[in-house]
């Protein structure tokens, strides 16, 4: 049914004119014939009258009248054409507005509104004919990092390219939509084999999105996490179906991302708890619930306190003090790690101003920050505004961050080093260890991961590995730091091998700022580890 017949009044008029149309046509023809006869009679009378009254010059007046009539007819014809053009223009504008209201302007795929219309239609069809379908919720991994690092133009181009890859891997009957941001959704009807075709398509999507993206001068990689929920197997209405697809998507992210997960009712409560914790974490970042605790670092040879490592802690109002390993993975999945760093840095420059100026403070960075070429400038701006000496700050970088974008990491490190900030390679040996990194990048320290220190008493192989790390740092002129020292035996062995510094529960756990200040007051000068 056409759009102009959707109004009830117009439908009634259409029915009325349709019923009487033959009679109206006859009446119009009769009226036209009569008008023509009257016009001929009138013309004949006017001709006779003008001939009998030539002095009135009625023929000239009639000529002017005819010319004006023709001019009026011409104006009416032009105006009619303009009105028709305006009508067509408005119809096209209405059609275009309808398209914009239902399609995403960036990628050209249906938007959230049209998706929900299609979802309702498929639910109605499934209830009528008994056919099932699945909803796939797709969320890009690391999109925010790409967007923040390379700009919104690159982010938009990435979304367009991703949508093209998604369409290329879908069947003609599948329905793709962009729900907003980096979130897409797909509706897929089940075949005779049930959900098997859905899982095959999900696997193709994962493989396609995981390929490198060439975005102008930028080449990067992202992945996608997919949550799958079925109708009617997992839900009986649209809202529940989307909620469970969302829970499945979080399950995929929790499993390491770049995978798909089918909704499992057994995991519903666990995932809901994780989502709730993420919401609480966002609130904590806004209200100041995330603060650093400071773990002391000691010179193993002299026992002198040389500095602290600032470790993020969450002062949860109900669950108490939460360690980083509890909430950092959630923050990473939610893209919140870049927001935690400036919070910790702001506390560090405020707390450490009261401490001896020869003490350094180390802060961990996330891999995403080492892809942000503006990261070094922001760090130096914070130090400058606070009047905090750059030489007292130490940035700890993981090996994973170097693999993601070595060139960006190098530029950031050089900028920080030129300003006086020191740089450490954190968790050495647990990531993608490469002598190239140690040779090409301006590190000051190597931090031996706690997992190696804890295995020192498990055999000679563990000792050989740690010994080689210490010797490597000595050969390169770098300071070696052992993490996670818990026993006197570990400390004595590391000291005998020439390891420079250590930290761990043997010396102290991470302390809040007030207790770190009390520790410094108790040690006074020289700063000697208490026995």
In terms of DSSP H, where are the helices of 130-267? 143-150, 152-168, 196-209, 238-254
How confident is the model at residue 193, as a pLDDT?
61
Residue 526: the pLDDT is 45
Q: What is the model's pLDDT at position 518? A: 92
pLDDT digits (tens, 9 = 90+) for 394-432: 999 887 666 566 778 889 999 999 999 999 998 787 655
Compute how many other C-beta atoms are within 10 angstroms of the C-beta atom of residue 191: 14
Rounded Cα gap, residues 451 and 307, in angstroms? 22
Q: pLDDT means per 10 residues in the chain (531 residues)?
A: 42 51 64 56 61 58 68 76 76 62 89 93 88 92 81 91 95 93 93 78 94 88 92 82 89 85 78 82 92 96 95 92 88 83 94 92 86 89 94 88 73 93 85 67 90 82 89 93 93 95 94 94 58 39
Task: Return the SS3 of 417.
Answer: helix
Tokens found for residue 354: 């009261």
Dihedral sign for Cα 181, 183, 189, 191, please. positive
The DSSP 8-state label assigned to residue 528 in this structure reads B
Tell me the pairing of strands 290-299 and 260-262. unpaired
pLDDT of residue 493: 94
In this prediction, residue 502 carries a pLDDT of 95
Report residue 373 CA to chain centroid gap: 19
Show the 3-state SS of 50-79: HHHCHHHCHHHHHHHHHHHHHHHHHHHHHH
Q: What is the pLDDT of residue 96?
A: 57
Domains of the chain and CATH, by start? 3-102 (no CATH), 112-263 (3.30.70.270), 290-310+334-523 (3.20.20.450)
Nearest to 119 by CA among 98, 97, 137, 140: 137
Query: Tell me: the pLDDT tens digits for 109-156?
Result: 999 999 999 999 999 988 888 778 999 999 998 888 788 778 889 999
Name the residue among 226, 234, 230 with its Cα closest to residue 268. Answer: 234
Cβ contacts of 518 within 8 Å, gap of 6 or more = none
pLDDT of residue 72: 76
Beta-bridge partner residues of 215: 218
Q: How far is CA 297 from CA 58, 95, 159, 516, in A?
A: 117, 68, 45, 12
Q: Say how far apart CA 474 and CA 488 lie, in whole Å.
A: 23
In this prediction, residue 227 carries a pLDDT of 94
Tracing tokens 């179906």 back to the chain, one arrives at 241
Predicted TM-score (pTM) of this structure: 0.60
Residues 128, 192: contact at Cβ < 8 Å? no
**pLDDT for the residue numbered 90:** 74
Asked if residue 386 lies in contact with residue 378, where contact means CB atoms within 8 angstroms, the answer is: no
């Amino acid at each position: 049914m056409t759009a102009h017949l959707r109004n009830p009044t117009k439908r009634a008029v259409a029915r009325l004119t349709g019923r009487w149309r033959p009679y109206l046509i006859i009446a119009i023809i009769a009226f036209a014939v009569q008008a023509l006869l009257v016009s001929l009679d009138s013309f004949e009378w006017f001709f006779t009258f003008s001939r009998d009254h030539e002095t009135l010059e009625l023929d000239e007046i009639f000529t002017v009248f005819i010319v004006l009539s023709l001019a009026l007819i011409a104006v009416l014809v032009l105006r009619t054409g303009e009105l028709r053009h305006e009508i067509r223009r408005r119809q096209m504008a209405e059609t275009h507005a309808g398209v914009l209201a239902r399609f995403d302007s960036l990628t050209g795929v249906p938007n959230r509104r049209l998706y929900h219309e299609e979802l309702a239609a498929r639910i109605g069809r499934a209830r009528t004919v008994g056919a099932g379908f699945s909803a796939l919720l797709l969320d890009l991994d690391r999109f925010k990092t790409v967007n923040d690092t390379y700009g919104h133009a690159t982010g938009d181009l990435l979304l367009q390219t991703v949508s093209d890859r998604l369409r290329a891997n879908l069947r003609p009957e599948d329905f793709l939509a962009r729900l907003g941001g980096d979130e897409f959704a797909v509706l897929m009807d089940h075949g005779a084999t049930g959900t098997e075709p859905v899982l095959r398509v999900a696997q193709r999507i994962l493989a396609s999105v995981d390929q490198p993206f060439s975005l102008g001068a930028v080449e990067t990689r992202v992945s996608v996490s997919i949550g799958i929920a079925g109708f009617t197997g997992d839900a009986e209405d649209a809202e529940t179906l989307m909620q469970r697809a969302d829970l499945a998507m979080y399950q995929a992210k929790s499993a390491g991302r770049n995978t798909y997960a089918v909704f499992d009712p057994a995991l519903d409560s666990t995932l809901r708890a994780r989502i709730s914790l993420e919401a609480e974490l966002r609130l904590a970042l806004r209200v100041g619930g995330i603060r650093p605790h400071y773990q002391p670092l000691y010179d193993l040879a002299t026992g002198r306190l040389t500095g602290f490592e600032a470790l993020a802690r969450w002062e949860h109002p109900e669950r108490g003090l939460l360690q980083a390993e509890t909430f950092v993975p959630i923050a990473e999945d939610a893209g919140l790690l870049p927001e935690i760093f400036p919070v910790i840095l702001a506390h560090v420059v405020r707390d450490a101003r009261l401490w001896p100026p020869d003490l350094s403070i180390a802060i961990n960075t996330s891999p995403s920050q080492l892809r942000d070429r503006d990261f070094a400038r922001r760090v130096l701006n914070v130090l400058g505004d606070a009047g905090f000496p750059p030489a007292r700050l130490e940035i700890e970088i993981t090996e994973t961050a170097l693999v993601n974008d070595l060139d960006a990491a190098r530029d950031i490190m050089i900028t920080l080093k030129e300003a006086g900030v020191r740089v450490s390679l954190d968790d050495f040996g647990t990531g993608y260890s490469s002598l190239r990194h140690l040779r090409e990048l301006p590190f000051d320290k190597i931090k031996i991961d706690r997992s190696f220190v804890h295995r020192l008493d498990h055999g000679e192989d563990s000792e050989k590995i740690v010994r080689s790390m210490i010797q490597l740092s000595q050969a390169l002129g770098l300071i070696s730091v052992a993490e996670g020292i818990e026993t006197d035996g570990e400390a004595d062995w590391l000291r005998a091998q020439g390891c420079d510094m250590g930290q761990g529960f043997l010396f102290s756990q991470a302390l809040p700022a007030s207790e770190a200040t009390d520790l410094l007051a108790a040690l006074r000068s020289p700063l000697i580890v208490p026995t």
